Amino acid sequence: MTTAFRNYRDSLQRPLGDVGLKIRSLVPVVILSSILLGVVLSAATAATDETYGIVTNTIDGDTIDVMIEKADHRINSGVERIRLADVDSPEINTLEGLEARDFAYAVLLGKRVFLDLDDLKGRDDYNRLVGVVYLCSESDTPVPVPCFNRMLVDSGHAAVDNYTDNEFNPQDWWTASPSDSVQGQLEGTVNGILGELRELLAEELEKAGRAIIDQIRG
Ligand SMILES: [Ca+2]
Ligand SMILES: [Ca+2]
């Protein structure tokens, strides 16, 4: 067996080497991009911080009082009664109604919440602001998923009741529906990563090919 042929055989049996290392170095980039995109996709469909404030009272599962901290043109007073959009909890004079109120009390009372207020009608027939409630993260930003409206339904303390006179579609709370611009962002990032991988592989394969030819010639 000639030295050139032995080198050629060894080169085929060698692991990916530099190429493998570079590909492996891209894995965290791909994972991080996916996580960031997931966050963007989740938050893309809702205006989660039109206003915010502290919950001072829980009337029942789907109605709370909030002491407003951030001004909004739809806000009339310091403490506003908020009716959660598109969900219905049992009446307060039933056992299920009391359980729903207790759930809202345990999760929300005294806490800061963020609100996406209804942009269409704004208030219901009882002059309550209609909106979607988001919990507050440790960094004082809204937690986009799940919203409290969905939490009520998931915990069995409310049923979905989609009013068509408000801006909200409760389906969005369970199904991501990214806007075209976000889809574009996603495609751009994926294409960028694939392009980088293609260039890297072509470059390394060309180098490996040249090395093999040199070895055979040598
Ligand atoms: Ca809104
Ligand atoms: Ca609706």
As residues whose CB is below 5 A from the ion ligand 2, the structure lists: 86, 162-163, 166, 168
Question: What pTM was estimated for this model as a whole?
Answer: 0.63
Question: How many residues in the chain?
Answer: 218
The answer on 154 and 76 residing in a single domain is yes
**β pairing state of 79-84 and 159-160:** unpaired
Share of the chain above pLDDT 70, in %: 71
Same structural domain for residues 114 and 141?
Answer: yes
The per-residue pLDDT for 162 is 98
Distance in Å, CA 187 to ligand 1 centroid: 27
Average pLDDT, the chain: 83
Ligand nearest the Cα of residue 168 is 2
The mean pLDDT value for 75-98 works out to 97
Same domain, 115 and 68: yes
Q: Which ligand is nearest to the CA of 165?
A: 2
pLDDT in tens, 189-218: 556 667 777 888 888 888 988 888 888 887
Q: Same domain, yes or no, for 115 and 195?
A: no
What pLDDT, on a 0 to 100 scale, did the predictor assign at position 197? 79
Domain that holds residue 142: 51-173
Asked if residue 184 and residue 164 are part of one domain, the reply reads no
| Shared domain check, 138 and 81 | yes
Domain co-membership, 154 together with 81: yes
Alpha-carbon distance of 214 to 20, in angstroms, equals 22
Claim to verify: residue 66 and residue 136 sit in the same structural domain: yes
Per-residue pLDDT of 130-187, as tens digits, reads: 999 999 999 999 999 999 999 999 999 999 999 999 999 999 999 844 444 345 445 5
Together in a domain, 141 and 158: yes
CATH number of the CATH domain containing 134: 2.40.50.90
Domains identified in the chain, total number: 2
Shared-domain flag, residues 75 and 169: yes
